[in-house]
Structure 1
């Protein structure tokens, strides 16, 4: 707790392992039951620590009547779900994660609540927490009631809930679900099914006021925590301070990067040259917010398939593509979030009532992918260039983003110290690229920090013998360059240093 302020700073490494507690691991021999908070405390913290993640993020643990809602239909805003144990048991789990140096983020849902009679709906027989008019108080997509943010009492209730989790349970951050649905009065509605604000617009002005006051209260009372917004539109300044006109969140999920990147990777590598702009577009807006790059549970449910299943090609190419995706993601500006099971390439779509496919780790390709994620996180945490300036243009520079014909991109990441510079090169085709020249900012020996094609990870072993000496030949904007051999569907990380 004394260290979490440093660990939660925007210029600190933040790599998040997203977890649904009821399906992370189950006991088949005991009726396929899920683990309790205390049982999870024996295995989850050590597993996350071994993978070198800095944080876990729990899908909502506020009490909810329907397990299949994954917690997003909340009734008990001041109660951890009793499915896994008592409040003290949950505290024990949080403390176990803290003992391993892992921060705890929790999904929290201030956007809607279910219509169960024992919950907040018609709480005193009237529309107390919700609007009376269904055009304002009911969300047809979710069959849920919407909070009336114009009421001081409702705003106080929700703010108290948020502060309660940070206070009593030592939660280190709150990820606020469905912020988009709060900001827009016409969210999920057709013409005539919503009521405009007092200015005739579609913005929910009361929700904006609430979110600003909420973030102000959280950062006032718990300045060593963070708030995260799941917001999928171009609403301006979501992660900017309220005194400059922002909503006051610490960070925002980058849904645009996620959609564009997954669509790009779904393409046959032979066609990727025609979609090159889709890959590099994210840098145009990468510094407009404090972004988290999410590959979350939403991408592996509802018929979307698993991440490994989205990758084209035969099995070897699928794993190479997924290692490349993760390498590109960890090199790209922004904090990282990966849903459980994706670290070892779970094959089937996530199911909330089934355990992850842990048996796959007996297979070399799956074990190699898990090792790749472990090493990505290790290098990410050790190299300041990969996190210190995530939200500043000073921390990123393209070396070459125009090589669409061969689907190659290269860029450097910078920390506060120029000596910390890291070079990242991605080859998005299954073809070995010999004699690829890439510019670097200084002479000397550049050693290979990571190579996704290493045989340990299940790759083919194409590389550069551990490093390359920079020559005095210009390339792009740089006066020095490296001549490299790029592995197929591979990503390379280099840093200037001494030759081993």
Structure 2
């Protein structure tokens, strides 16, 4: 085998950017790259290992021998080891064997920048390059309107390993198979976006992908990198946006991963108070280190650039923001101002969002953040973190607690529903009913509902109606859209068989209808992040557990009036105040027979009366079915 030859993809400018933490496209330089050098085909390797005294490429091409292909460290104190190995090409298995300056410490590591990895439990990296030809130019040219904060944004959260499985072989569906089955389903259900739980390579299935070892490699469980691109392409061709779960908060301690990479704390913070996560038994990135910031921001840019994704949902932001997250007194150290905020993580997120929106102004970043930290979705130049949206965890917790109560007690807890409107416009909120709410004994959404079978399904339909008419964008985890009764199990497919039963197919039909309504009614999205888009008609009737409100668009003719009845007692001839006189029609009733409701208590030919009610000059009498929501719209 020919020796390693001196060759570099790095310029002096690249190195200076890397050291300063300002190189945001490291994937073009680091890792393995099939190239031609001096008329020889081979692969260029580059890895950051500043504490190493020797780095060798080992693989199936040299029988995993650490003596034959040592890399050379650059002279510029960047800590980058590199070299060109002839006759090594696409498909080659490899790792880096790293001898540390620390006495007796040698590691064998997967490539942090590998574009493809072996199928777990195997752990080698694979030299990879693809020439996939994208066909989504039309989508990219128009996605600004699809991803706008003034556009409908309804997300279907998917775990690729359990959404559906091959019926006969009981295996994962491939990216190619999903490009037909998943795309057709999401399009039919009228969701605007899908969100994939982490698809970067991860070693341990029960982590659901949140413990990543291959940040630049799509999981080999479902196929090749270009097959994932094909799946995304097909989604785009059907006007469906793609959001990826992204985890810059922590990573696992697996021997082939980023931990103790070159015998030192390279990617993780060396102080355990900042570098180890007690909840998840994982390591925390060192946001103080420039090169680590470059790695993470480059990774975000990689998925947006190379895979054409339309947004990133950033996991566990709260754990990054606070030094005392899940720590007792004495287990954390205050920042230089004596506070609990992680100033380096905050500046990292601001830098991340600044670069993303600079390079890709038509995408969205979404923070999974569970505290009241201010300004998460405010622009960086106004002191915010710069995310496009933030999950509304308070709404989710309060709403699910309310729906888990027997209806007889709900009159004492009306505030659980109304409280969200006191802060609904402090951030650009997304309403999440995510995977976290249907695991670990929390029960499925359907199983959280109280009452007999009819009431449970009516409650679930009411929940979805309330969610889709509440200000904010929407996210629903797989299975919720048809009322799966069992908790989510990542080891098996969803219970698709239940769709043969009318209660489940009715819920599914409602979610499809709500998605269509959300897309078609401007009042539900044009001002979804503004107090101008919402107005109470009445929130004081706790005795009857009724709420009535208006959703407002840019034009008053688009206004919708929503009435909710959270008890199994029908509210017939219930008077509500109206914003103006005129005729109204019933746009949606969650009690309709097509949704497996009773079909009773519908509203026909409603006409306003000049009778003052709810401090308004006009009013009308409506029927609100038991455990149901109705939407009314002016017809003149």
**What is the match of residue 160 of structure 1?**
298
Q: CA–CA distance in 2 between the matches of 1:338 and 1:492?
A: 21
1:133 positional shift: 1.7
Distance 2:214 2:246 in 1: 11
Instruction: Determine if contact 2:484/2:498 at 8 Å carries over to the other structure.
Output: yes
Alignment of 1:83-232 (within 5 A): 83-232=221-370
Corresponding position: 1:489 with 2:601: no
2:165 corresponds to which residue? Answer: 26
2:544/2:567 contact within 8 Å kept: yes
**Contact conserved, 2:589 with 2:602, CA < 8 A, in 1?**
no
In the TM superposition, 1:247-266 aligns within 5 A as 247-266=385-404
SS of 2:476's partner is: strand
The answer to whether the Cα contact below 8 Å between 1:462 and 1:485 also exists between their aligned partners in 2 is no
What TM-score do you get using the length of structure 1 for normalisation?
0.98
2: CA distance between counterparts of 1:139 and 1:126?
18
Query: 1:348 and 2:486 equivalent?
Result: yes
Please show how residues 335-414 of structure 1 align to structure 2 within 5 Å: 335-414=473-552
Distance 1:411 1:339 in 2: 27
Give the distance between the partners of 1:394 and 1:467, measured in 2 at CA.
Answer: 28
1:228 partner SS: strand
Q: Could you tell me how far apart the structure 2 residues matched to 1:264 and 1:464 are?
A: 26
Compared with structure 1, are the counterparts of its residues 158 and 467 closer, same or farther at alpha carbon in structure 2 (3 Å cutoff)? farther
2-structure distance, mates of 1:107, 1:399: 38
CA–CA distance in structure 1, aligned partners of residues 470 and 386 of structure 2? 24
Give the match's secondary structure for 1:23: coil
In 1: Cα distance, 2:349 partner to 2:601 partner: 49
* Deviation at residue 491 of structure 1 after TM alignment: 0.1
In structure 2, the partner of 1:4 is: 143
1:414-462, Cα deviation, whole Å (9 max, x unpaired): 0011111001100000001112111121222111110000011111112
Residue deviations 1:19-54 (CA, integer Å, cap 9, x gap): 000000012421x21100000001111111111110
- Measured in 1, the distance between the counterparts of 2:616 and 2:367 equals 38
2:380 is equivalent to residue 242 of structure 1: yes
1:462–1:486 CA contact under 8 A, matched in 2: no
Q: Secondary structure at the match of 2:538?
A: strand
SS in 1 for 2:414: helix
Aligned to 2:427: 289
Q: Following the alignment from structure 2 to structure 1, what is the Cα–Cα distance between the partners of residues 590 and 155? A: 21
For residues 603 and 419 of structure 2, the distance between their equivalents in structure 1, rounded to whole angstroms, comes to: 33
CA displacement, residues 98-129 of structure 1 (integer Å, 9 cap, x when unaligned) = 11110000100000000011111011111011
- Give the direction of change, closer, same or farther, for the CA distance of 1:290–1:467 in structure 2 (3 Å limit): farther
Question: Where does residue 152 of structure 2 map in the other structure?
Answer: 13
Please, what is the CA RMSD of the aligned residues?
0.8
> 1:27, 1:35 within 8 Å by CA — same for their partners in 2?
yes
CA contact (8 A) 1:451 1:463 kept: no
Distance 2:143 2:215 in 1: 24
Structure-2 separation of matches of 1:494 and 1:155 = 50
Greater relative contact order: 1 or 2 (C-alpha under 8 angstroms, separation 6 or more)? 1
Tell me the equivalent position of 2:177: 39
Which has more radius of gyration?
2
Secondary structure of 2:365 counterpart: strand
Q: Distance in 2 between matches of 1:290 and 1:102?
A: 21
Where does residue 190 of structure 2 map in the other structure? 52
Q: 1:89 to 1:324 in 2, by over 3 A?
A: same
**Among 409, 413, 416, the residue aligned to 1:271:** 409
Alignment deviations for residues 29-81 of structure 1 (CA, whole Å, 9 cap, x no partner): 21x21100000001111111111110000001111111111110011111111
Q: Give the SS at the match of 2:401.
A: helix
User: SS of 1:34's equivalent?
Assistant: coil
Report the CA distance between 1:131 and its aligned residue.
Answer: 1.3
The yes-or-no answer on 1:326 pairing with 2:490 is no
Alignment check: 8 A CA contact 2:602 2:625 kept: no
Q: CA offsets, 1:312-333, max 9 Å, x none?
A: 0000000000000000010000
Q: Does 1:312 align with 2:450?
A: yes
**1:464 positional shift:** 3.1
Moved more, 140-149 or 196-205: 196-205
Which residue number in structure 1 is paired with residue 107 of structure 2?
A: none
* Alpha-carbon separation, structure 2, partners of 1:63 and 1:474: 62
Match of 2:586 in 1: 448
Q: 1:306, 1:329 → 2: CA distance?
A: 17
SS of the residue corresponding to residue 411 of structure 2 reads: helix
- Equivalent residue pairs, number: 497
Report the equivalent of 1:425. 563
Give 1:467 shift: 4.2
The answer for unaligned runs of 5 or more in structure 2 is 1-139
